[in-house]
Structure 1
Amino acid sequence: MPDDAPPPNLPAPRPGNPQLRVSDREREQVVEFLQVAAGDGRLTLAELDERVGAALAARTVSDLAALTADLPLEEMPPGAREVIRIDQRFGESERTGRWLVPRRMEVALMFSELKLDFTEAVLTHRVLDIDVNLRLGGHLTLVTAPGIVVNADGISHSRGEIKLPPAPGPETPVRLSILLTGRSTGGDIVARPPRRAPWQRLRRKPRPGDASP
């Protein structure tokens, strides 16, 4: 990327008066960028709420620029897409590590397995809608972390299993709500915490993200 190119998912700077009026789209781009920064741990939830409110109320280019002035723009990942579609037959695939969670996913699986690991994912929104179509041999695994809640009430299934962890107590703040809808006619849906390595089990080391005793 050239040195003078705008960072990903921020509006390109406009020459001239910094008091030029901004558009709704430019406000939305800055809000998305702030959500990515919060998901990456660079902003607290309180700071995110404050800056999002300021971004939505911004009138000028300088108003928006002030909200991202203390963030390392060149190191931030590009924004999440609105929708990710996965239509897979046979084989295995996964999304792990530092991936950007979109607003919505459409997942169709047949004789295949998909793992979505949220333990290190960058959460850009508070709710993720996943529309599921699990056919024969299609299996979906969600690896969760504290503060991630999975709801499968919107799934109609004739075969296969749905296994979800118990809902967290009121003392655990909800970081992401995953809402599953669609159908399963022959596959399994499992939501679970990350597995411990054998040496972690021997030493009884807490899983990543577990609360300290």
Structure 2
Amino acid sequence: MTIEGSPQGAAPDLPGGSQMRASDAERERIAEVLRDAVAEGRLDMEEFEERLDAAYKARTHAQLEPLIRDLPAPGAVPGAAAPGAVVAPAPLPADATGLAARDGWAERIGGTPTSKWAVAVMGGFGRKGTWTAPRAFTAFALMGGGEIDLREARFEGREIVIRCFAFMGGIEVIVPPDLETHVSGIGIMGGFDHRGSADGDPTGPRVTITGLAIFGGVNVQRKFRKEDQKRLKTERRREKQARRDELRAERRERRAELEGRRAERRARGHDLGH
């Protein structure tokens, strides 16, 4: 991903504390700006997911600031103050983070686990929807496949460990963008995808995904919740329709203007003929 004004893979040397360590609250504020941008159609989904992943992995202000440099961000951007200025963190909402209030992590922690293990032998399994993930969940796939979707899940506790073992098979784990996730599995003649590792909302659960893949694979993906996807698609459709209506109105105005000019020329010709 390349951000305008910042070479790919290099953090800009910014004044005003650009190398200061970023806090979880600052990462969340950047993530919120990115969510607003994709909802407004300023970013497509692919670019949004790249920037969001970079925001949750950022360690300094210099890594955060380029992610929203080309976006209209409300308030000050961490690390973007003038030379010599004192950078003060923006005030947090009363509940410490607006995202926590919106997503309701507190309401999703606690309860009896739906299941503590899943097995697929030359077949498949799925854990998705509003199931309750246990503190320790074990998934095993032998010449088969499975899906573990945590986007709508509840959690038995704040610390969740998912152990995935894939032998000549595959397991996919799907997490929402704001869920803290750490991947530490090993792939032998197979693959264990660590790209899903990222910090998340500090008020939510912490999920550790570990295990082993031999001649198989474990894939960890960060995806929007279904209602968020529907909302973004609806907003994009509305924006496209509004733009189409605007273009139609402009074309009607141009046609009316051309007709007016033609009528004026005809009137002038008629006057000259007399």
Say which structure is richer in strand: 1
Say which structure is richer in helix: 2
Rg comparison, structure with higher value: 2
